């Protein structure tokens, strides 16, 4: 089982579908805790498109069959033994179980759903049937009625992709506050710089840059192994939800959505993209002596950040030679300017069918516009672990080691 606060924390904070709707009333800073199933990680729920994502998931086609509740809890309690929670596969049925005296209990992570109490026992259970669970990997935690900190773990099928290698001791990370003329405000940026190299490092602009260090751990491991050329990450921190979290969701107050989704607020989207391409990138390239070649420049993101990455790479292929959009819920509509298109590496999960549909539409649009585009579909959900795996698998093709004499 995998537990890592640094890995899950910043991304789970921004991943709306991980949070069940009955907790949408909690104020920023509130955590969630399940007695008997708690752990070391707490997060707040500001800046998420909670209502929109949950509604989309409710309308999505089923990724698995939810089996009826068993009449007898005893076999499952026996299977749990001294454990308070477990996930296991029996044939085509994935069992997700937790013991807790109080409820209701909801599953969060790559799969989001309420668990059912079995009879009068303290067992809460879901049984999900699917043919290819052996290829699946799912991060999960249990949410109960008390505030606190859930413990995220990962279940992997026998044929699931391996966890990417990571280097937890990063070479250099800078936390900046950058003044933007076009936005008229200061914005937070996290910059990861690779180990000292003879060539200038390329740049990956990462939406939801609060998660920069988790992605940098994967990136640095690939650089160390010589599988990719030196790359920096420029993590742009996303805007926060500016409304009252105790009141109904107001899309006009969701700065993250307004800056990442073209249709949410076209003027704000355009201004934010202009800040990234015309102010921020030139500034960090000069400050840290990074490559200015479009072939050395990519843009990546997940969820709403994935929509931003797709839109940015389509609209500004003069800046971004590579787009790495993951779990795109809202595919881009804009047309590209004349000139060479970016290369695209899309990824989504079959357990997030609505996002897979959106990502597939974005992939097909990129191909229709003449771009070299690939789509990798995993048996996974709207899940930080899936985004890490997709990132690691795409990087060697996106930014292979440079041939001697071609650096700049």
Task: List, for residues 318-377, the tens digit of each pLDDT value.
Answer: 999 999 999 999 999 888 898 999 999 999 999 999 999 999 999 999 999 999 999 999
Q: How many helices (H) and strands (E) does the chain have?
A: 10, 17
For the residues 5-24, what does the mean pLDDT come to? 44
Proportion of the chain above pLDDT 90, given as a percent: 75
Helix, strand or coil, per DSSP, at residue 4: coil
Can you tell me the mean pLDDT for 374-382? 98
The domain defined by 29-44+64-156 folds into Immunoglobulin-like (2.60.40)
pLDDT recorded at residue 406? 52
Evaluate if residue 14 carries a pLDDT over 90.
no
Residue 104 pLDDT: 94
pLDDT score of 146 more than 60:
yes
Is there a common fold for 29-44+64-156 and 172-398?
A: no
CA-nearest of 319, 318, 364 to 344 is: 364
**Which CATH fold topology does 172-398 show?**
Rossmann fold (3.40.50)
For 56-69, how does the pLDDT look when each residue is reduced to its tens digit (9 = 90+)?
444 556 899 999 99
> What's the whole-number average pLDDT of the chain?
86
Confidence grade of residue 26 (pLDDT, cut at 50, 70, 90): very low
pLDDT at 399 over 90: yes
Strand, helix or coil for residue 17: helix
**Percent helix, strand and coil across the chain, each rounded to 5?**
30, 25, 45
| CB distance 125 to 105 below 8 Å | no
pLDDT, residue 5, reads 43
Structure tokens at 244: 């009252």
Strands 343-349, 322-326: pairing kind: parallel
User: In the structure, what pLDDT confidence band is assigned to residue 29 with cuts at 50, 70 and 90?
Assistant: very low
Q: What is the pLDDT of residue 404?
A: 61
- Name residues whose C-beta falls within 8 Å of residue 309's C-beta, 6 or more positions apart in sequence: 207, 299, 300, 301, 323, 324, 325, 326
The per-residue pLDDT for range 206-223, each reduced to its tens digit, is: 999 999 999 999 999 999
Of 1-15, 104-118, 247-261, minimum mean pLDDT range:
1-15
Please indicate whether residue 4 or residue 229 has the higher confidence score (pLDDT).
229
Q: What is the pLDDT of residues 181-191, one digit of tens each?
A: 999 999 999 99
pLDDT of residue 15: 45
Structure confidence at residue 3 (pLDDT)? 43
Angstrom distances, CA of residue 338 to CA of 55, 114, 214, 299, 334: 37, 49, 35, 19, 13
pLDDT higher than 60, residue 35: no
- Is the model's pLDDT at 407 over the cut of 80? no
β partners of residue 155: 138
Nearest residue to 114 via CA among 104, 102, 101: 104
Which one, of 78, 140, 76, lies nearest residue 111 by Cα?
Answer: 140
The pLDDT value recorded for residue 21 is: 38
- Residue 169 three-state SS: coil
**What pLDDT band is residue 33 in, cutting at 50, 70 and 90?**
very low
Residue-wise pLDDT tens digits, 256-311: 999 999 999 999 999 999 999 999 999 999 999 999 999 999 999 999 999 999 99
Q: Which residue in 279, 250, 275 sits closest to 260, CA to CA?
A: 275
Residue of 223, 277, 188, 269 whose CA lies nearest to 401? 223
Domain locations in the chain? 29-44+64-156, 172-398
Q: Are 139 and 385 in contact (CB under 8 A)?
A: yes
């Amino acid at each position: 089982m995998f537990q890592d606060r640094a890995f899950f924390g910043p991304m789970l904070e921004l991943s709306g579908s991980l949070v069940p709707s009955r907790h949408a009333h909690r104020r920023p800073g509130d955590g969630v805790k399940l007695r008997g199933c708690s752990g070391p990680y707490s997060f707040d729920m500001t800046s998420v498109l909670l209502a929109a994502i949950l509604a989309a998931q409710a309308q999505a086609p089923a990724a698995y069959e939810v089996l009826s509740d068993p009449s007898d809890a005893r076999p499952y309690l026996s299977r749990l033994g001294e454990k308070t929670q477990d996930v296991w596969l029996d044939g085509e049925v994935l069992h997700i179980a937790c013991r807790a005296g109080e409820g209701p209990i909801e599953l969060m992570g790559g799969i989001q759903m309420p668990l059912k109490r079995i009879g009068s026992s303290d067992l809460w259970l879901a049984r999900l049937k699917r043919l290819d669970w052996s290829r699946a990997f799912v991060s999960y935690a249990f949410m109960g009625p008390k505030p606190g900190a859930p413990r995220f773990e990962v279940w992997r099928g026998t044929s699931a992709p391996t966890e990417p290698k990571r280097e937890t001791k990063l070479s250099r990370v800078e936390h900046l506050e950058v003044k933007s003329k076009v936005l008229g405000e200061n914005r937070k940026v996290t910059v990861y710089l690779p180990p000292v190299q003879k060539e200038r490092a390329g740049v990956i602009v990462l939406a939801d840059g609060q998660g920069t260090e988790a992605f940098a751990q994967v990136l640095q491991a690939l650089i160390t192994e010589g599988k990719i050329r030196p790359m920096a990450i420029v993590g742009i921190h996303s805007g926060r939800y500016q409304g009252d979290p105790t009141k109904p969701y107001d899309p006009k107050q969701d700065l993250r959505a307004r800056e990442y989704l073209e249709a949410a607020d076209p003027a704000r989207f355009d201004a934010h993209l202009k800040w990234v391409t015309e102010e921020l990138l030139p500034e960090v390239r000069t400050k840290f002596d990074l490559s200015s070649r479009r072939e050395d420049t990519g843009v990546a993101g997940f969820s709403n950040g994935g929509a931003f990455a797709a839109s940015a790479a389509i609209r500004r292929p003069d800046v971004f030679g590579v787009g790495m959009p993951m779990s795109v819920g809202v595919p881009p509509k804009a047309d590209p300017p004349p000139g060479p298109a970016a290369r695209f590496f899309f990824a989504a999960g079959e357990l997030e069918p609505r996002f897979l549909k959106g990502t597939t539409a974005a992939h097909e649009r990129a191909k229709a516009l003449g771009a070299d585009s690939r789509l990798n579909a995993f048996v996974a959900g709207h899940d930080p672990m899936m985004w890490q795996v997709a990132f690691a698998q795409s990087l060697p093709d996106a930014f292979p080691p440079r041939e001697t004499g071609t650096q700049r």
